Structure 1
Amino acid sequence: MSSPPPSPGSAMAAKEQVRPLASHRYLHVDVENDGFSVEVKKTRHRHYHGKCIKFCGCCTAVLLVVAVAIIVLASTVFHVKDPTIKMNTIRIEGLSFLSTGNLNPGVNLTLVSDLSVKNPNAASFKFNDAAETSLLYGGKVVGEAKIPAGNARARRTLQLNVTVDVMVEKLLEVPRLKSDLVTGELPVAIYTTIHGKVKVLRIVKKSATLKMNCSMSFNILRQDIENLDCLNSL
Structure 2
Amino acid sequence: MLRAVLPSSDIFEKFRIWKLIMSTFAFSSTPELMFGLYLLYYFRVFERQIGSNKYSIFIVFSGTVSLLLEVILLSQLKDTTANLLTSGPYGLIFASFIPFYLDIPVSTRFRVFGVNFSDKSFIYLAGVQLLLSSWKRSIFPGICGIVAGSLYRLNILGIRKAKFPEFVASFFSRLSLPSLGNSTPPAPSRNIVGTISPNTGRRAEASLRSQPAPMVSSAEPSEEAIATLVSMGFDRNAARQALLHARNDVNAATNILLEAQSH
Under TM normalisation by the shorter chain, which class is it?
A: under 0.3
Larger radius of gyration, structure 1 or 2?
Answer: 1
Structure holding more strand per residue = 1
Structure holding more helix per residue = 2
Q: Which has the higher contact order (CA 8 A, sep 6+)?
A: 2
